[in-house]
Amino acid sequence: MSLAGLFSLLDKLIKLAIAIALVLMVGFVFTNVVLRYAFDSGLTWSSEVARYLFVWVVFLGSILAVADHSHLGVDILVSRVPLWLQKVLFVISVILITGVMSLVVRGLLLLIELNVGITGPATELPINNYYHAGMISAVLMSLVLIFQAISFVITGRHGPQWSRHRDGEE
């Protein structure tokens, strides 16, 4: 399997995980609301599980946003420079973003170490699940960006949005 195929499979798996998490989240919250209002009782663990799922949805969605170049960016200048300079600027931005992601991973590893043994009050699930979501997201975002930068420099594909709107150049 090629690297592009692997990233395509990862994209599909992340979308499936997000869909499952959203369905579970809505189901838990809706069930809890119905139980509270109709039967004057509720599921003590549902809001905590929904919160875990929400965190995972946000971080998994950020990976998809990086892969689709959907995050905000100011491109008024870079869209007007020659393609070779766009490639250089994109590589520089990927290096900077990957550096920041390494700092994020380092900080999350410290948080995981600090919170070992701490669990949620209702579910007894480790609080570190929040931090694992961020760490996995940071690592996968970095890998996706590195793949895109290499692909953009070598083949001209998988570049940022502003590079696709050149006059016939790709």
**What confidence category does residue 166 fall into, taking pLDDT thresholds of 50, 70 and 90?**
very low
User: Per-residue pLDDT averaged across 144-156, rounded?
Assistant: 90
Predicted local distance difference test score (pLDDT) of residue 168: 44
Across 94-105, average pLDDT: 96
Q: How many CB atoms lie within 10 A of CB 32?
A: 19
SS3 119: strand
Per cent of the chain over pLDDT 90 is 55
Q: At 73, list the tokens.
A: 């960016």
Q: What is the torsion angle, in degrees rounded to the nearest 10, for the CA atoms of residue 89, residue 92, residue 93 and residue 97?
A: 170
Q: Give residue limits of the domains in the chain.
A: 3-164
Across the chain, mean pLDDT equals 88
Residue 104: band (very low, low, confident or very high) from pLDDT cuts 50, 70, 90: very high
What would the mean pLDDT of 134-154 be, rounded to a whole number? 93
